[in-house]
């Protein structure tokens, strides 16, 4: 550890000159090391701060009003080696910078990057173990990822064989004077009538979709239901509902065209 009071060699006797010169050379050799900064600060002066463990290498800024930390006096001065490194803290890549994984000859890469806009911070936590073949990552809605099996229905030219049960949810439609059904919400739907209603033509109709619509009378009963023009019944006649309180009727349908839904009515399930 050595620091010099200044770097100016004054006219003096030979012994004093040698002593001062050796002090300056010692400061240069040890990077002005000390537990506090040298007193004779100049821009771009190098200073090894021994008040930390390991010591911290600093350089004076151009304005000579502060130090810039270069790193610690340890392996690579605490900097990342191009051949690899282990990080003990978070890594932030600003402005959607990529993490890139190069191929064998580094001619191309696969990159991961953040979306253009994020309303709030979130963390995705990887699963603790690998999954099984044909599984995919899923989230629990709170950022924890895990592996799960999915039924793949990508084949469009041949039939599919399903060995387990296949289930479609039953969407509850909102009761009102005009009842709306978004077929994107599900193949099956149910509605409890609280008055005389109209089932409007559905939205997001897809040719080939099929399912059932359950029509339930409320505790009063005697509710009627009219149908939008897209609902087609045999003979061109809309059905008459069961009028008993809490009665359940069902309409099974197949979408033939976006404006023609073939329907079969079955009354009074109990």
By the 8 A CB rule, do 44 and 60 touch? yes
8-12, 15-19, 131-135, 199-203, range with the lowest pLDDT = 8-12
Residues 187 and 74: their CA atoms lie apart, in Å, by 65
Q: How far is CA 178 from CA 111, 181, 194, 203, 204, in A?
A: 50, 10, 12, 13, 17
- pTM beyond 0.75: no
Q: Which residue has the tokens 């709170």?
A: 142
Confidence band, pLDDT 50/70/90 cuts, at residue 72 = confident
Using the predicted structure, report yes or no on whether residue 16 has a pLDDT greater than 90.
no
Can you tell me the mean pLDDT for 39-55? 92
Residues 179 and 199: their CA atoms lie apart, in Å, by 5
pLDDT at 153 (0 to 100) = 58
By the 8 A CB rule, do 175 and 154 touch? no
């Amino acid at each position: 550890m050595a620091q010099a009071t200044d770097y100016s060699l004054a006219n003096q006797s030979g012994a004093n000159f040698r002593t001062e010169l050796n002090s300056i050379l010692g400061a240069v050799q040890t990077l002005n090391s000390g537990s506090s900064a040298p007193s004779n600060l100049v821009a771009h002066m190098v200073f090894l701060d021994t008040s930390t463990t390991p010591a911290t290498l600093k350089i004076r800024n151009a304005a000579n009003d502060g130090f810039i930390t270069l790193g610690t006096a340890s392996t690579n001065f605490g900097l990342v080696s191009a051949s690899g490194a282990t990080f003990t803290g978070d890594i932030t890549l600003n402005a959607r910078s990529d993490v890139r994984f190069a191929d064998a000859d580094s001619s191309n890469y696969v990159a991961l990057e953040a979306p253009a806009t994020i309303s709030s911070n979130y963390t995705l936590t990887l699963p603790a173990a690998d999954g099984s073949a044909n599984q995919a990552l899923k989230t629990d809605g709170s950022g924890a990822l895990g592996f799960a099996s999915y039924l793949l229905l990508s084949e469009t030219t041949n039939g599919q064989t399903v060995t387990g049960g296949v289930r479609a949810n039953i969407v509850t439609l909102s009761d009102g004077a005009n009842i709306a059904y978004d077929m994107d919400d599900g193949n099956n739907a149910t509605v409890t009538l609280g008055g005389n209603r109209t089932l409007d033509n559905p939205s997001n109709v897809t040719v080939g979709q099929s399912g059932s619509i359950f029509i339930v009378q409320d505790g009063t009963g005697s509710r009627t239901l009219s149908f939008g023009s897209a609902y087609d019944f045999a003979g061109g006649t809309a059905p008459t509902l069961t009028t008993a309180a809490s009665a359940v009727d069902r309409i099974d349908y197949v979408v033939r065209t976006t404006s023609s839904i073939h329907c079969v009515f079955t009354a009074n399930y109990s």
